[in-house]
Structures are given as C-alpha cells and as structure tokens.
C-alpha cells in the first residue's frame, strides 16, 4: 500500500508537518537522521512508524520509498542537503513534495521535468508559504484576465519570526544567482534588481525581487506570459539594503575561492536545527500574497490578494493537504508541476483555504 514518508520530521517545520498530517488522519512514516529524536517525536505524537535516513548516505534515503509513495521532505538547506531526497523519489517512482524556498534549488527540480514524466511521478517543489499562495493568487488573477502578458506576485509578513533552518537556507542563497521571466524565457537576474510597492490590505508595502517558483510554474501553465516577478516584502530601507547586499554578494560570487570561504564562514555562524517561533508568536503573525496581472501597455488587468496566518503553520498544513491529496489520487499530471497545474485552481483554492489562506 502506498504511504506518505515525511523526511526531516525531527526539524522545526518537520514536526509541525507531522502534527498536521496526523491531524488530517494520515499515518506518515516519520524519517530523520537521529534515531533517538525520532523515537521521542513518535512517542510525543501518540505513536508512528519511524525510519532512520541520512542524506550523507543516499542509499538510506532511497530505502525509505517504494513505487507510488508520497515523499514530503523538509530537510534543508536544500542547496546543501536536498539532492538525495529528490533523486530517491525519482528512482523509486514516488511523488515528491518539498518545503524549499531556495530559487536555484527550485529551478533544479523543474530541470528534472522529463525524468519525472518518464518515471510517472509528480515533483512539487516549494510547496509551502514560499510559493503556493502566490501561484494560486496569480492563477486566479490570470483566470480573470485572459490576455495578460505580465504577472507580479508579492509576499508580505507582519510580525515574522524565523526558524534556524530558514535563516540557514537564506544564508546559503546569498551567493547564488537569481532568475526571472523575461520575454517568455527564464533568464539569470540578480536578486533585488527590482523594487516596487504593493497595496496590501490598504497599506503601501515595499517588495524586492527574488527568484520564486512562479516564474517557472506560471510560464508553463500560461505560455502567453512574457514577464513574471516575485517580490519579498521588506521595509523600504531593508529592501535597498538587500539590493546593495546582493550587488556585493554578486561580486564575491564571481571569485570562486572567495565565495567558498565566505560560504564556509556563513555556514558556521548561521545554523539550522535550532527551532523556530513558538505557538504564541505564530498566532500573532499575519501574511499576504498579492498578485497583479498586466497587459502589454503595463495596465493592471486583475489583482488578487490572499490573506492568512503564520507562514510555518501554513507550510505544514499545505504540505499535509498536498501529500494526502496526492496519496488519494488527486494529482492531475506528472512531471515538475506548479501548484496550479498539479491540482487545478478550484481544488487548490479549497486546499489553501483549508491551510489558512483565502481571499
């Protein structure tokens, strides 16, 4: 019988996802590298099947999966640790969901589209707050404006707390190249090259451009789109700071030995597996995804805002919904899919609402 395997279950987002899966009535196999932490987690959750696997031993990750299984992985930073889980899902013929927000890793998953089709599996990368609500908001805005050629998506958080894993992943991306959709093609583009303001729940908020999954997913689902941008909401001074920082990081990244030194130093300072915001802090957090579509003169054709709660609560709930829906046969295709392609606009709208985000 196909099963759900949750890899990284002992991490901050992994534990929230295990709780969300169990709350949905699923019986996931909890997998992680540390047997003691895993047994404690399973006992805390009232009992669950467990399996030990470590990305430094790819065979142990492959051994978690059989054909038709659904793998959910929260083992990150993904640029450092994500490869073995993706390879294991493709080799086993298992559907794949991950929680990454790292643009270059997301792109590497979309690059495995052909392999996934041949294996008869679906690859769902960035299936969390980054970047499910923005894909949905853009899909809804594109349904309202059939002749749009450009889409902008912005993500905004009020009262954010971040996990150690998120900070480690952000640090790991500092020297990586970004990308964007220009002229209908994915092209390299520096993170922070664009800054713009969005109206978010009646207030102007600044966003700075980042590589998301929307560029890749929307351009496949809506081939008429020529241009797409994803923006991360930041106070305007911080947005300018990120823009300047990314220019500097770009210069460092061009000198490979200096890049390796800087990455090594950052890796030692910014560590994962250090927990994240507690339930009270999460309960105070609010977030939004805004999508705007434009015609070729730059006129706004449609605008959709989805509002929700904490990004970690959303990520764990949507991963649980996606995995269970996939196990129940609710995937609409194979290959590297965006959230809209994978489930369709209506089912995804219902799933996202169930996970705490709605119009």
Ligand X SMILES: NC(=O)c1ccc[n+]([C@@H]2O[C@H](COP(=O)([O-])OP(=O)(O)OC[C@H]3O[C@@H](n4cnc5c(N)ncnc54)[C@H](OP(=O)(O)O)[C@@H]3O)[C@@H](O)[C@H]2O)c1
- Given the rule CB under 6 A, which residues bind ligand X? 8, 10-14, 32-34, 37, 54-56, 74-78, 81, 99-101, 126, 128-130, 163-166, 169, 272-273, 276, 311-312, 315
For 59-63, the CB contacts below 8 A with 24+ separation are 61/7, 61/85, 61/87, 61/88, 62/87, 62/88, 62/91, 62/92
DSSP state at residue 340: H
Q: What is the DSSP string of 25-46?
A: T--PEEEES-HHHHHHHHHHTT
Q: How far is residue 45's CA from residue 19's CA, in Å, rounded to a whole number?
A: 7
Output 63 or 300, the one with its CB closest to ligand X: 63
Tell me the longest C-alpha to C-alpha distance in the chain: 60
Strands 227-233, 150-158: pairing kind:
parallel
Residue nearest to ligand X (CB): 165
Surface-to-core class of residue 176, CB atoms within 10 Å of its CB (0-12 exposed, 13-18 middle, 19+ buried)? buried
- Please, what is the minimum distance in Å from the beta carbon of residue 295 to ligand X? 31
Output 149 or 337, the one with its CB closest to ligand X: 337
- Nearest Cα neighbor of 157 from 57, 281, 262 is 281
Output 179 or 312, the one with its CB closest to ligand X: 312
Output 312 or 357, the one with its CB closest to ligand X: 312
Residue 53 burial (CB count, 10 A) = 25
Q: Which residues pair with 358 in a beta bridge?
A: 307
Token pair recorded at residue 297:
């003169």
Question: Do the beta carbons of residue 10 and residue 32 sit within 8 Å?
Answer: yes
Output 35 or 261, the one with its CB closest to ligand X: 35
- Please, what is the minimum distance in Å from the beta carbon of residue 15 to ligand X? 8
Q: How far is residue 233's CA from residue 200's CA, in Å, rounded to a whole number?
A: 10
Output 61 or 142, the one with its CB closest to ligand X: 61
- Please, what is the minimum distance in Å from the beta carbon of residue 251 to ligand X? 25
- Please, what is the minimum distance in Å from the beta carbon of residue 335 to ligand X? 21
Output 53 or 221, the one with its CB closest to ligand X: 53
- Please, what is the minimum distance in Å from the beta carbon of residue 152 to ligand X? 19
């Amino acid at each position: 019988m196909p099963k759900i395997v949750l890899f990284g279950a002992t991490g901050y987002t992994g534990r929230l996802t295990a709780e969300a899966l169990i709350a949905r009535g699923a019986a996931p196999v909890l997998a992680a590298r540390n047997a003691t932490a895993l047994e404690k987690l399973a006992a805390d959750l009232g009992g669950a099947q467990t399996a030990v696997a470590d990305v430094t031993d790819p065979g142990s990750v492959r051994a978690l999966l059989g054909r038709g299984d659904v793998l959910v992985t929260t083992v990150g930073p993904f640029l450092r640790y994500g490869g073995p889980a993706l390879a294991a899902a493709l080799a086993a013929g298992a559907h794949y969901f991950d929680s990454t927000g790292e643009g270059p890793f997301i792109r590497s998953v979309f690059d495995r589209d052909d392999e996934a089709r041949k294996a008869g599996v679906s690859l769902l990368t960035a299936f969390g707050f980054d970047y499910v609500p923005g894909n949905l908001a853009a899909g809804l805005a594109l349904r309202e404006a059939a002749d749009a050629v450009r889409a902008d998506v912005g993500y905004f958080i009020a009262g954010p707390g971040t996990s150690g894993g998120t900070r480690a992943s952000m640090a790991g991306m500092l020297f990586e190249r970004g990308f964007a959709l220009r002229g209908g093609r994915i092209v390299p583009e520096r993170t922070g090259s664009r800054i713009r303001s969005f109206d978010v729940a009646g207030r102007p908020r600044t966003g700075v451009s980042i590589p998301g999954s929307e560029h890749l997913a929307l351009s496949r689902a809506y081939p008429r789109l020529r241009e797409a941008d994803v923006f991360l909401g930041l106070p305007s001074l911080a947005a300018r700071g990120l823009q300047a920082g990314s220019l500097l990081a770009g210069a460092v990244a061009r000198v490979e030995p200096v890049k390796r030194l800087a990455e090594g130093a950052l890796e030692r300072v910014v560590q994962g597996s250090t927990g994240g915001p507690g339930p009270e802090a999460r309960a105070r957090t609010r977030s939004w995804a805004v999508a705007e579509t434009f015609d070729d003169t730059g006129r706004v054709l449609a605008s959709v805002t989805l509002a929700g709660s904490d990004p970690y609560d959303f990520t764990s709930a949507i991963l649980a919904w996606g995995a269970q829906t996939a196990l129940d046969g609710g995937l609409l295709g194979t290959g590297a899919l965006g959230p809209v392609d994978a489930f369709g606009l209506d089912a995804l709208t219902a799933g996202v609402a169930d996970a705490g985000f709605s119009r």
